[in-house]
Amino acid sequence: MLLPVAAGLYTYFGLTQETAAHFAMKNKRAAAYGVVCFIAFLGPALGAVAYFPADLGLAVAGGIKGVFVIPAICALIFMLITEPKRQKPWFKAITEREAEHSMQFRREMMVNPSKAARFGVMSGGVFLLSAAVFILLHFALEIPYAWLVFLFMFAAQAFLTSMIFEKKKD
């Protein structure tokens, strides 16, 4: 039962600290986050106590857990939606600049429908080929390290992305 208290306090103290990129959260809101975290951790703890030492059954333990966790998740979603921005001005400028760079990349590279269609067809082909090779190696030949095929698939996908969406110099 110490874990829910520790989680709530850790959340409260973590949110009330000012960092290099974010201002500290107000004490009332941080306390609300701490209480929500405490309730979210209290449900599984009480469920475990009800299941193991008390031997009340899995349904009762799951019900106890659900009674605490579901409202905590709803409260957390509400609090995250209504969260005011706490970013410092210099960090906000960096994130805005990164967002603008990302949008510029999308406008220049990703909007081209022929490139997007070619990329989709080729990446689907790479995935189907790797799945077929995996099935052949794993099930037919019983090779234990057949899953390594998927690592090569991810490498081929990265190469394919760089090859199709490279910026051509005029």
What does the alpha-carbon distance between residue 79 and residue 71 come to, in Å, rounded to a whole number?
12
CA 13 from chain centre, in angstroms, equals 23
| Residue 101 counted as domain residue | no
Would you say residue 92 lies in a domain?
no
- Please give the DSSP secondary-structure letter assigned to residue 37: H
What range defines the domain where residue 77 resides? 2-81
| 3-43 pLDDT, tens digit each | 999 999 999 999 999 998 899 999 999 999 999 999 999 99
Sequence-distant (≥ 6) Cβ neighbours of residue 17 within 8 angstroms:
24
Percent of the chain scoring above 70 in pLDDT? 95
Q: How many domains does the chain have?
A: 2
Q: Are residues 10 and 69 in the same domain?
A: yes
CA angle 7, 39, 12 (to 5 degrees): 40
Q: Walk along the chain (170 residues) in steps of 10 and give the mean pLDDT of each run.
A: 94 94 94 97 93 88 94 96 91 88 74 79 94 94 93 93 74
Residue in 67, 35, 64, 70 with CA at minimum distance from that of residue 49: 64
- pTM (two decimals): 0.59
Whole-number average pLDDT of the chain: 90
